[in-house]
Chains A and B, each alone.
Chain A
Amino acid sequence: MHQENKDSSQHITWKINKKEALILGAIFLVLLGLIFWYYFLRPTTSHYKTADIYYENELIESVVLDGKEKTWTLELPENTHQTVDIEVHIRADRKIEVLSSNCPDKICVHTPAISEPGQSIACLPNHVIIKIEE
């Protein structure tokens, strides 16, 4: 009772061939180049950068990253229905990070400190976003 089964795995080979390796290698190099350009070769300004803190897309605080250490808990302009308990810390090396938060994910706490424009730390359950401007 031999069944002619459609063997789905016959459609895959287990070795890589030249054309595919070339495509993957090209993608790899392009990505590497883009990363290199963005993180190392972009021109940077020499003045201090400012970090803007947004709550529900409204700017609530703007701090200059000038090397002075500072730790504080975010204060909302008017206390809405949800409480936000986020501790922000500016480091001596002019980076800003989130020390603690009352969100369940804690993604904001685990995001590394940011210092360059375009980088951001977001606590989405609390609707808080920290961005760096030029």
Chain B
Amino acid sequence: MANSPKSMSPLNRLVLRGVLLALSFILSAIDHSLPSFLPGVPPMSIGLANLVVLFSLIFLNAKDALIITLAKSFFVFFLRGPISFLLSLSGGLLALLIEVLIWVLPKKKISIYFLSAIGGIFHNVGQILAYSFYAKLNVWVLMFPLALVGLVTGILIAFILNLLTPLMDRWFKNRRKDFG
């Protein structure tokens, strides 16, 4: 696959990081504006911004993914408030950690669907954990529907990334030809 990050010029990588950061802000804004659907479930993020984090894990490196995760949590802090910041931070960091572990540990190849779905599940699990620790509420039963939503969202994200990859391949190949 012609998308090796070291073959990108530093300027290209910088621009890509900037664009991905902006995109993660937009997705986070949409994510945190969605209403809650089940009674008793507070409106939590469903994990759309994980698309950008996953993309940067694949096409950039883990450090960039971490920076994007932290930055979008701070963005949510200014957009929504401190509670949403806590939820986004906990969910995003846990999802990133699990995704990196799943990426690094197994010897054979992992499918993007599996990676994204597990990341989505743990994104919401992280949110529930932070919420129950901070509020001292016993909300573990909310974990079931939210984990399910995370799984579905993860599969959706993997599907979107799958559609985008042929375009990305072409983009990267052209860029490499231009900038060496």
Chain B, interface size category, equals 35 or more
Question: Of B7, B151, B155, which is within 8 A of A3 by CB?
Answer: B7
User: Does A28 touch B at the CB level, under 8 Å?
Assistant: yes
User: Does A11 touch B at the CB level, under 8 Å?
Assistant: yes
Contact A32 B148 (CB under 8 A): yes
User: Does B160 touch A at the CB level, under 8 Å?
Assistant: no
Smallest beta-carbon distance A99→chain B, Å: 16
Main secondary structure on A side of the interface with B: mixed
User: Does B174 touch A at the CB level, under 8 Å?
Assistant: no
Contact B41 A112 (CB under 8 A): yes
Stretch at the interface among B13-21, B23-31, B67-75, B138-146: B138-146
Contact B148 A35 (CB under 8 A): yes
Chain A, interface size category, equals 35 or more
Smallest beta-carbon distance A102→chain B, Å: 12
Question: Of A20, A31, A115, which is within 8 A of B114 by CB?
Answer: A20
User: Does A105 touch B at the CB level, under 8 Å?
Assistant: yes
Q: 17 new A-B pairs (CB below 8 Å) besides A35-B144, A110-B43?
A: A8-B58, A9-B58, A10-B1, A10-B109, A12-B111, A12-B112, A13-B112, A17-B111, A24-B113, A31-B147, A35-B145, A105-B82, A108-B42, A111-B40, A112-B36, A112-B40, A125-B81
List, sorted by A's number, 25 A–B pairs whose CB atoms are closer than 8 Å: A3-B6, A5-B6, A8-B58, A9-B1, A9-B4, A9-B59, A10-B109, A12-B110, A12-B112, A14-B162, A16-B113, A16-B114, A17-B111, A28-B148, A31-B144, A31-B147, A31-B148, A32-B148, A35-B148, A107-B42, A107-B84, A108-B42, A114-B40, A118-B141, A120-B139
